[in-house]
Structure 1
Amino acid sequence: MEPALVWVGSICVLLAILLPAGSLEAAQAIKVTDCRGHSLSFNQPPQRIVCLIESALSGLYMLGAEQKVVGVSANVYQAPAYRWYAAMDERIRARRLPAPGNWDFVSIESVLALRPDVVIIWSEQTETITALEQRGVKVFRVFINSREDVWREMLALGQLTGRQVRARELIDYSRGELEAIARRTSRIAPARRPSVYYMWAQGNLETSGRKSTVNDLINLAGGRNVCGDIEREHLIVSLEQVLLWNPELIVMWGNDRKDPADILCDPQWKRVRAVQSRNVHELPEVFLCDLWTLKFPYAVKLLAKWSHPAEFADLDLEREKRAMLAKLYGPKILAHRP
């Protein structure tokens, strides 16, 4: 063998020994497919990520890829999400991490100033996506209608950040938690599954049909979505229709404008069975049970306990919450919990 080749080979072996595995992995070109089927190619995993969706940002923190984030959704700096992210990231606690936009508005100039390798954004924000791509910015589109979409997104984010192993570990954990609940609810006879009306925070008559994470939530928890035979993900119904459905349980998306007491005291709702039996519940703050993240199983556990209190009397929701946070984010979030 030529001396020069021996020398080059020796250097390569030495680098393989001395460089951490992450450094070698980071140098590899990658191709990622986003939630809408668009393929993105990178010479190496992106080092500068602008994430304008809080649920996707949550996934990046679960993956341990937060230091790659150079811009966040403005919603992160609003209560109650801020206190959780502040507990995990000193940059957010000090309000140093830029927030160039959210669902309502995105400052293209502010995004460009951050020199992102990729921007993560909802696929429905088409005007912003077009503006960014015309300026040469790569965009990862997010679209979620089911728990399978959440798992696919996490796999893609894991690939995007070089955290594939961690992504698969977390997805397996999420699947296991859901399967454990589903094994219990599968033994509940159809006649004992309560009819459930889900109420979004935007209005009492805004709900979700069959093609939605809400429908998944209700079914897995052992209930029946009153509008589960309607295909649409999001819909507005009439009060008359709700009265005809006459749900046994009402579940409210967490919000700071309305509580179960408001529904219980509303004369328009007094004829509904859920109101008469005072079976109206509100999910806790979004950070804890975001249906578009791997925290989805915690929401299922809450609804399972509300739907079947006797069958789930042993379920300690506070303990479940702490275990979930520790698994997904690590012990730091509990040590500095709000």
Structure 2
Amino acid sequence: MLRTLAFLCLSLFAVCPQAFAAIELHDVSGRTVTLDTPAKRLLVDDGRIIFALSFLSDDPASLIAAWPHDIDRLGRAPYAALEKLSPKIGTLPATGSNASGMSAEAILSVDPDLVVLSVYSQFADDRVHLLERAGVPVIYVDFVTDPLENADNSLLLLGAATGHAAAAQKLVAFRSAHRDAIARRLQQAGRVERPSLFLETHASATGQCCFSPGKAGIGRLVAFAGAENIGNALGNKPFGQLTIEAIFTADPQIYIASGGAYMKDRDGLLIGPGFTAEDERQSLDRLLNRPGFNALSAVENGRVHAMDRHLFDPVIDILALELLAKWAHPDLFADLDVDATRTALDQMTPLGVARGYWRGAGK
């Protein structure tokens, strides 16, 4: 009888392993989703999610069933590395992005075992319900609207969903330690001046001016780093547009331009792998030569910096946070070696984190 019972138990385990491998996921929107086994065919609505996955898996493309082919969001350097690692990434089905929406029918046609959407996705609730009724689970992640709270939770969520929980926990611990070091030093310093800061995103010499984070999104990083974001005037939005008059009135003590390879055809800031220091200097000079900019206190006092937009992306936004802290409080964080953090991150992903994503911070 005992042998029969043991055989039955072993047989049940062999036939129904999913009963012992259920994964309960609590996503950033408050929903609970259960997977029988780790997901292996993800449909994502933002290329940056693939970059996040590259810190959890040595072959992130193997986890992707379809993606928006939004190469500039993923980053041109990371995409080139991804394509070299997994040439099939360019041939995978293309979906709509979180900005354009997607049809449930198109999603079902690629047979995903998990759909990963951004919290601000245009994908309607009724289509989510349609997917779930068809047996396709959906989770929401967030690396944009609240990078301090939701980014780590999203990494843990992706790790649990794909069977890489240990890697996600290690990564989150690394990020937390670096954030805590900044917070601890600011706290130990007591009452320190919070310099006013203007972070111009998508900075262009001839295009529309002047885009800035609000209190949400990157604005959370600015506040955490101990600076006063003049974009707070935009309210709790993650992103918006300030008037020239508002910028001149605020007269920020620090000016940071952000851009990258995607700004090449928009007369914008050129920075990042593939661009020289001279490329960056010339494009930054064009930005500062716009009427009135050279009169800003930040420019007169030499507190002008530049960074690639890619630094605000998943995982490596910890570099943006360290740079913001160092640029806001150069004496307090004189020994903060941002490039050492970059080197550590470079070793954590097969896509690499190259030098050249920022200028003006020394180490």
TM-score normalised by the chain length of structure 1: 0.80
Counterparts of 2:182 and 2:53 in 1: how far apart (Å)? 26
Counterparts of 2:10 and 2:343 in 1: how far apart (Å)? 49
SS in structure 2 at match of 1:41: strand
Offset, 1:28: 1.8
- The residue that corresponds to 1:20 in the other structure is none
Superposition RMSD in Å: 3.3
Q: Is the 8 A contact 1:26 1:44 kept in 2?
A: no
Question: Equivalent of 2:64, from 46, 62, 69?
Answer: 69
Counterparts of 2:18 and 2:319 in 1: how far apart (Å)? 33
User: Which deviates more, 23-32 or 221-230?
Assistant: 23-32
Offset, 1:70: 1.5
CA, structure 1 residues 199+60, in 2 after alignment: closer, same or farther (shift >3 Å)?
same
CA, structure 1 residues 50+157, in 2 after alignment: closer, same or farther (shift >3 Å)?
same
Q: Is the 8 A contact 1:178 1:297 kept in 2?
A: yes
Q: Is the 8 A contact 1:84 1:337 kept in 2?
A: no
Counterparts of 2:240 and 2:354 in 1: how far apart (Å)? 39
CA, structure 1 residues 68+267, in 2 after alignment: closer, same or farther (shift >3 Å)?
same
Question: Equivalent of 1:282, from 298, 302, 306?
Answer: 306
- The residue that corresponds to 2:175 in the other structure is 174
- The residue that corresponds to 2:321 in the other structure is 300
- The residue that corresponds to 2:277 in the other structure is none
Counterparts of 2:232 and 2:353 in 1: how far apart (Å)? 41
CA, structure 1 residues 26+96, in 2 after alignment: closer, same or farther (shift >3 Å)?
farther
- The residue that corresponds to 1:214 in the other structure is 218
Counterparts of 2:30 and 2:19 in 1: how far apart (Å)? 24
1:1-338 alignment runs, 5 A limit: 1-9=1-9, 28-64=21-57, 66=60, 67-76=62-71, 79-92=76-89, 95-105=90-100, 108=103, 110-127=106-123, 130-131=126-127, 133-135=129-131, 136=134, 137-143=136-142, 144-188=145-189, 190=191, 192-201=193-202, 203-210=208-215, 212-228=216-232, 230-255=235-260, 256=263, 257=266, 258-259=268-269, 260-286=284-310, 289-291=311-313, 293-327=314-348, 329=349, 332-334=350-352
Counterparts of 1:337 and 1:107 in 2: how far apart (Å)? 36
Q: Is the 8 A contact 2:78 2:352 kept in 1?
A: no
CA, structure 1 residues 244+283, in 2 after alignment: closer, same or farther (shift >3 Å)?
same
Task: Report the residue type matching 1:218 in the other structure.
Answer: V
Offset, 1:163: 2.3
Counterparts of 2:11 and 2:228 in 1: how far apart (Å)? 64
- The residue that corresponds to 2:280 in the other structure is none
Counterparts of 1:29 and 1:141 in 2: how far apart (Å)? 19
Q: Is the 8 A contact 2:41 2:113 kept in 1?
A: yes
Offset, 1:37: 1.6
Offset, 1:25: 7.6
Counterparts of 2:323 and 2:287 in 1: how far apart (Å)? 19
Counterparts of 1:82 and 1:217 in 2: how far apart (Å)? 26
Aligned residue pair count:
321
Q: Is the 8 A contact 2:231 2:242 kept in 1?
A: no
SS in structure 2 at match of 1:40: strand
Q: Is the 8 A contact 1:76 1:85 kept in 2?
A: no
Counterparts of 1:311 and 1:233 in 2: how far apart (Å)? 28
Q: Is the 8 A contact 2:342 2:353 kept in 1?
A: no
Q: Is the 8 A contact 1:198 1:214 kept in 2?
A: no
CA, structure 1 residues 146+334, in 2 after alignment: closer, same or farther (shift >3 Å)?
closer
Task: Report the residue type matching 2:211 in the other structure.
Answer: E
Counterparts of 2:6 and 2:326 in 1: how far apart (Å)? 67
Partner deviation per Cα, 1:250-287 (whole Å, 9 max, x = no partner): 1233332422323211113233211323422222251x
SS in structure 1 at match of 2:71: helix
SS in structure 2 at match of 1:32: strand
CA, structure 1 residues 11+24, in 2 after alignment: closer, same or farther (shift >3 Å)?
closer
Q: Is the 8 A contact 2:141 2:150 kept in 1?
A: no
Counterparts of 2:40 and 2:17 in 1: how far apart (Å)? 14
SS in structure 2 at match of 1:196: strand
Q: Is the 8 A contact 1:70 1:114 kept in 2?
A: yes
Task: Report the residue type matching 1:46 in the other structure.
Answer: A
Partner deviation per Cα, 1:204-233 (whole Å, 9 max, x = no partner): 3222232x2323322333322224473333
Q: Where do 5+ consecutive residues of structure 2 fail to align?
A: 270-283, 357-363
CA, structure 1 residues 73+186, in 2 after alignment: closer, same or farther (shift >3 Å)?
farther
Q: Where do 5+ consecutive residues of structure 1 fail to align?
A: 16-22
Partner deviation per Cα, 1:158-202 (whole Å, 9 max, x = no partner): 222232222222111100011122333334465543211122217
